[in-house]
Structure 1
Amino acid sequence: MIRNPILPGFNPDPSICRVGDDYYIATSTFEWFPGVQIHHSRDLINWTLVRRPLERASQLDMRGNPDSGGIWAPCLSYADGLFWLVYTDVKRLDGSFKDTHNYIVTSPTIEGVWSDPVRVNSSGFDPSLYHAPDGRKWFVNMLWNHRQKGHPANARFDGIVAQEYDAEAGALVGEVTNIFAGSYLGMSEAPHLFEKDGWTYLTVAEGGTGYGHAVTMARSRDVLGPYEMHPDVHLMTAKDAPDSPLQRVGHGQIVEGPEGRWYHTFLCGRPLPGRFCTLGRETGIEEVVWGEDGWPRLACGGMVPRLEVPVPGVEPAKPQADEKYYRFDSAKLPSDFQWLRTPEPERLFTLTGDALRLTGRESPGSWFELAFVARRQTELAYRAETEVTAEPPTYQQAAGLVTYYNKHKFHGLFLSVEPGMGRCLNIFSCPGDWREARLSYPMEPLAMPEGPLELAVEVDGAQQQFLAKLEGGWRDVGPVLDASILSDEAGRGEHGSFTGAFVGMMAFDTSGQGWQADFAHFSYSGRL
């Protein structure tokens, strides 16, 4: 039994690729480093993170990229003995312009070292590479039009364009052709092409990334069109199904499985009451069947994917919550963790053999160097714990446990110093003030004794509580906080925020002296 979402937590824009008996899904990572998550499966049910291929400065440097910029919508494919990964690095997303640079990297294996990138174009985002049956390659992306002053936002989506790609030259050749204008829903993006029975099929995401999202399909006898629309227009969407537990359904790719069965990935969100998706956009998969008219439709009927999808010959597994304990006793950071933007992590953290040592750099929310090592929230309810050893000399230095979405949506329990009090705990929050990112302080500073300090956070839906282990055991610190702000919909809203909630360890030093703090361990216990 496939249980959706198959990749819980922030894992949007799934591109699926099958090579023999192996399936791979690549998902967007936005401003989180290293770039692109690739998961592997052999049964479409159990998935394991096996690679983040964009791992060095020559491939990716996102210092200065805005929140929800960075890596958008990768496309993973296999041809000519190589894996091909196409991706966008978004340097600007606000206003009329978007600076969206598109690249290709390759590797003979998923787990190996990936090449330095070939820069292809910057005309739009969400590109894909189609390896046509005749051996030609086509680079396909949406076209961005900055000139639509005063028009609706979807008027800036100026269709899907295709151009031939010369792999030997590493360059586009020939004319650019606008092959698809989109449906009535608009905002056509994330194009993927595939071939079946002499037809070239096009699948695109439409309607934006929020609750009006959808997968739209079209087909043509020629790569360059003309394309006819699917009789139902959309293959899948939950825009007209407000009671579905899977919302924001759209943006995926089709794959042929064993014994002629077909599947289509999609992104989705599982909203809290009030329609806040703290887990961000997650990845699901649904079976599709081909009709006598040559068009695919969901095997379950309708357009809304299921929470559970039967897989022939595979016993259903019992759902399990994510539960991990990390000791930081090796030279390598555990694979669940990432950091923000920079390809120079040695400036942010080191592994000492018995601790994760953070070197305080810039302030919480910095777009350049922020010493924050975190993992995804993958359940709507969880508890995380850590132990910090630090002696901050002034209030300009602090270290602690943070729940984080971006610079204007976070809560942090920090060990710092207050004049006249000395060592203390305090909570810094930024509850969605996206214009100025001003802090709020939900509690008065709490004096702390010397020595290591154990911190925890419990999240249950839209409620969050920090804790500290003091004499007598665990004690609540500060009030219950609003965890719903750690969502796409909070702050500037779903069409300006594209990631998900993280929880992790942070240190900052606004004096610029590189003060350090040690974290002995970290644990995450999810609850279904």
Structure 2
Amino acid sequence: MDDRVIHNPVIPGFHPDPSAIRVGSRYLIATSTFEWFPGVALHSSTDLRTWQAIGGALDRPEQLDLRGVPDSGGIWAPTLSYHDGLYWLVFTVVRTMTGAYKDLDNHLVTATDPAGPWSDPVYLNSSGFDPSLFHASDGRRYLVNVNWDHRADRFSFGGVLLQEYDHDRRGLVGEPEVIFASDELMEGSHLFERDGWFYLILAEGGTGFNHGIRLARSRELHGPYETDPQPLLTSRDDPRLPIQKAGHGQLITTPDGEHYIVHLGSRPVAGATEPRSPLGRETFLQRVRWDADGWLRLADGGHHPYVEVPGVEAPQEPAVPEEPFRGPEWVSLRGPVAADLDSRPGWLRLRGGESLDSRFQQSMLARRLTSLHCTAEVTVEADPRHFTEMAGLVVYYNTTGYHYLAVTHHEALGRVVGVISKSPAGIVEHRWHPADPGPLRLRAEFDQLRLVLSAGDGHRWEADLDALSDEIGPPLRFTGTMIGVCVQDLARRRFTADFTHFEFRAE
């Protein structure tokens, strides 16, 4: 096998809206995290094929407070850049997303090392999401973002806004102006210069199955911009493609002058009635080239995403083994979690928090599901004394979609184990079984949309991932299925549970 071939997705599991840069021989990708903390997932690579998680940029409570944000609100579409010896990261925090309105703030943080620490956020504006910072060749900096129009008689996409940013004053200066407008929804705009042209690379057509990437260009920064007559990348015209929803991209160039587009996409599987994407939107790479007319095109032709892409000669970063509960893959909901990791490897104690339906203070640590052919196991030690105390293994999409293999207390049966399932249609409690005292091994087995949950040697429940995907329930579901551990104490917040020997095995 050619070790230079890039196999897509390069970052599997819920990692949407990728922004990529190269600094020297190192590539970095930032992706959206929505309601998960730390905010903005960062990955590093030296060869474009293998990517290592290096943590979240927004990892301090004073940088990011997501309490109360809706499911799929929070951190949208971060954009990385590097200039003047600094890493720059702009991002949106969305707090309202239903109806016509988008209540949000755009911020900037900087760092001398992408592994951190990152600065406290600088507020930019609140006019629309998907911000991107452009460092012009004349030394000035500009912010571009969606101009959101909530008015009933207007198209919600009010164009792409441009406004100058002054870093000495830590704020935007002058007045914003619309430099690009379209009858099609165009998000995720990134501005760059090449050969006397200013280019906008645009996420076209929403983030679902109609998604795509299109370019526009102008000889003047302020426009007018002409639109490429054909898309650079989309899978909207062929539902048979293994990669769907392809869009939202950014251009990166290797030291040897090769060009690649990093973009999001999904790998749906057949559901009972329509395709489902429980892994969410993932990160992919495509090789591109400039054509004679000055437009970007896929290097191997067409506009459909490729599963395998020619790579580059480069040394590979050494793999870093995942450390259960401690590594950068592990995240919590809307803020840091009350966890005691002690000094024992692979050991975790969680204090009970609010219910799995809470948008404020859940007590959960989870990692992304990266394959639909995998197994996760953990041992729980918990002694609940009331029905309000629960602990266990959770397969979680959001507050309206989860399967919870839980240990709790029953007045007649004592300690019991069972499954609580939630979907947009409602909540179901499956049969509860008595569970002997002591450590209890919990297990989740995934086979496409089929899920088998088991406890100990004798209890087994079947479920499915249909409700744990982007395509079911209300619109604007943007995350992906997670697997993790959680604890609830709905009465006193004193109950704790211990977890050990977490294992995740993916085919």
Question: The TM-score by the shorter chain falls in which range?
Answer: over 0.9
In structure 2, relative to structure 1, the CA distance for the partners of 1:396 and 1:324 (3 Å cut) is farther
Question: 8 Å contact 1:324–1:524 — kept in the other structure?
Answer: no
Aligned residues: 497
1:40-439 equivalence runs, <5 A:
40-148=44-152, 155-182=155-182, 184=183, 186-232=184-230, 234-273=231-270, 274-313=274-313, 326=323, 333-342=326-335, 344-345=336-337, 348-354=338-344, 355-433=347-425, 438-439=426-427
Identity of aligned pairs, percent? 44
In structure 2, relative to structure 1, the CA distance for the partners of 1:315 and 1:106 (3 Å cut) is closer
Secondary structure at the aligned position of 2:276 is classed as: coil
Q: Give the partner amino acid of 1:440.
A: V
Question: 8 Å contact 1:323–1:525 — kept in the other structure?
Answer: no
Q: Following the alignment from structure 1 to structure 2, what is the Cα–Cα distance between the partners of residues 307 and 323?
A: 25
Q: Give the partner amino acid of 1:275.
A: P
Secondary structure at the aligned position of 1:251 is classed as: strand
Q: Following the alignment from structure 2 to structure 1, what is the Cα–Cα distance between the partners of residues 465 and 357?
A: 17
In structure 2, relative to structure 1, the CA distance for the partners of 1:323 and 1:399 (3 Å cut) is farther
Q: Give the partner amino acid of 1:477.
A: R
Residue 319 of structure 1: aligned partner: none
Residue 435 of structure 2: aligned partner: 448
Q: Are 1:460 and 2:447 counterparts?
A: yes
Q: Following the alignment from structure 2 to structure 1, what is the Cα–Cα distance between the partners of residues 282 and 291?
A: 28
Q: Give the partner amino acid of 1:351.
A: L
Q: Following the alignment from structure 1 to structure 2, what is the Cα–Cα distance between the partners of residues 242 and 477?
A: 35
Residue 526 of structure 1: aligned partner: 506
In structure 2, relative to structure 1, the CA distance for the partners of 1:134 and 1:144 (3 Å cut) is same
Q: CA deviation at 1:482?
A: 1.5
Q: Give the partner amino acid of 2:341.
A: L
Aligned match for 1:499, one of 479, 482, 505: 479
Residue 18 of structure 2: aligned partner: 14
**Runs of at least 5 residues in structure 1 that lack an aligned partner in the other structure:** 317-321
Q: Following the alignment from structure 2 to structure 1, what is the Cα–Cα distance between the partners of residues 238 and 122?
A: 42
Q: Following the alignment from structure 1 to structure 2, what is the Cα–Cα distance between the partners of residues 476 and 512?
A: 30
Q: CA deviation at 1:326?
A: 4.7
Secondary structure at the aligned position of 2:269 is classed as: coil
Q: CA deviation at 1:325?
A: 7.1
Q: CA deviation at 1:462?
A: 0.7
Q: Following the alignment from structure 1 to structure 2, what is the Cα–Cα distance between the partners of residues 285 and 80?
A: 27
Q: CA deviation at 1:163?
A: 0.5
Q: CA deviation at 1:205?
A: 0.6
Q: Following the alignment from structure 2 to structure 1, what is the Cα–Cα distance between the partners of residues 332 and 505?
A: 20
Q: CA deviation at 1:485?
A: 1.5
Q: Following the alignment from structure 2 to structure 1, what is the Cα–Cα distance between the partners of residues 43 and 69?
A: 25
Question: 8 Å contact 2:46–2:315 — kept in the other structure?
Answer: no
Q: CA deviation at 1:312?
A: 4.5
Q: CA deviation at 1:460?
A: 0.7
Q: CA deviation at 1:231?
A: 2.8
Aligned match for 1:30, one of 29, 34, 58: 34
**Residues 70-102 of structure 1, C-alpha deviation per residue, up to 9 Å, x if partnerless?**
100000000011000000011111111111100
Q: TM-score, normalization: structure 1?
A: 0.91
Q: Following the alignment from structure 1 to structure 2, what is the Cα–Cα distance between the partners of residues 222 and 327?
A: 51
**Residues 132-189 of structure 1, C-alpha deviation per residue, up to 9 Å, x if partnerless?**
111110100001111125x7xxx2111111011111101111121101113x5x2211
Question: 8 Å contact 1:385–1:524 — kept in the other structure?
Answer: yes
Q: Following the alignment from structure 1 to structure 2, what is the Cα–Cα distance between the partners of residues 166 and 370?
A: 39
In structure 2, relative to structure 1, the CA distance for the partners of 1:39 and 1:388 (3 Å cut) is same
Q: CA deviation at 1:43?
A: 1.1
Question: 8 Å contact 2:163–2:177 — kept in the other structure?
Answer: yes
Question: 8 Å contact 2:417–2:455 — kept in the other structure?
Answer: no
Q: Give the partner amino acid of 1:338.
A: V
Q: Give the partner amino acid of 2:447.
A: D
**RMSD across aligned C-alpha pairs, in angstroms?**
1.8
Residue 469 of structure 2: aligned partner: 487
Secondary structure at the aligned position of 2:249 is classed as: coil
Q: Give the partner amino acid of 2:342.
A: T
In structure 2, relative to structure 1, the CA distance for the partners of 1:172 and 1:314 (3 Å cut) is closer
Q: CA deviation at 1:476?
A: 4.6
Q: Give the partner amino acid of 2:448.
A: G
Q: Following the alignment from structure 1 to structure 2, what is the Cα–Cα distance between the partners of residues 383 and 425?
A: 19
Question: 8 Å contact 1:324–1:525 — kept in the other structure?
Answer: no
Residue 460 of structure 2: aligned partner: 477
**Runs of at least 5 residues in structure 2 that lack an aligned partner in the other structure:** none
Secondary structure at the aligned position of 2:236 is classed as: coil
Bigger CA drift: 305-314 or 368-377?
305-314
Q: Give the partner amino acid of 2:382.
A: A
Q: CA deviation at 1:353?
A: 2.9
Q: Following the alignment from structure 2 to structure 1, what is the Cα–Cα distance between the partners of residues 61 and 420?
A: 32
Q: CA deviation at 1:314?
A: 6.5
Q: CA deviation at 1:58?
A: 1.8
